Amino acid sequence: MKQFALLTFGLLLSTSVLALEAEEFTQERFKELQAQDALILVDIFATWCPTCARQHEILEKFQQEHPEVDLHILTVDYDDDRETVRHFRAPRQSTLLLYKGEDQHWFSVAETREEVIFSEIKRAAEFGE
């Protein structure tokens, strides 16, 4: 029983450490970040989507391995925010859009290759430096 409790505590701790640092999309926040020439990833996801879950794991890993990259992740719930989904012309959940300020650098649907996601974020982060 003691081992089970320690294992459970360890899992809870590791889950909290790896939580994706993101905020819910609002047009106001998006415009504010664009005006700051920030690096913004718009993540159009669904809670039931396994591809989205994989993308979140990759983004969590990116944040953990690259704390020097000031990446702002704004999440859009595909099922609950259809207006924003239409605004970004997302064909489905698991759509990722990457911006540096007002410039869109990347648009992807269902991308789950870690090396591709990491590369695109790094490339956009270096743009204009």
Alpha-carbon gap, residue 124 to 110, rounded angstroms: 19
Residue 63 lies in a domain: yes
- The CATH number of residue 58's host domain is 3.40.30.10
The closest alpha carbon to 20, from 108, 99, 117, belongs to: 117
SS (H, E, C) 45-114: ECCCCHHHHHHHHHHHHHHHHCCCCCEEEEEEECCCCHHHHHHCCCCCCCEEEEEECCEEEEEEECCCCH
Q: Which helix (H) or strand (E) holds 20?
A: none
* Amino acid letter for position 123: R
Share of the chain above pLDDT 70, in %: 84
Residue 107 lies in a domain: yes
Residue 8 lies in a domain: no
Residue 104 lies in a domain: yes
The pLDDT tens digits for 42-51 are 999 999 999 9
Range of the domain at 67: 20-126
Total tally of structural domains belonging to the chain = 1
Residue 2 lies in a domain: no
The pLDDT tens digits for 68-78 are 999 999 999 99
Residue 7 lies in a domain: no
Q: Is the pTM of this model over 0.75?
A: yes
Residue 108 lies in a domain: yes
What integer is the mean pLDDT of 24-34? 98
pLDDT score at 10? 40
Alpha-carbon gap, residue 25 to 102, rounded angstroms: 16
Residue 106 lies in a domain: yes
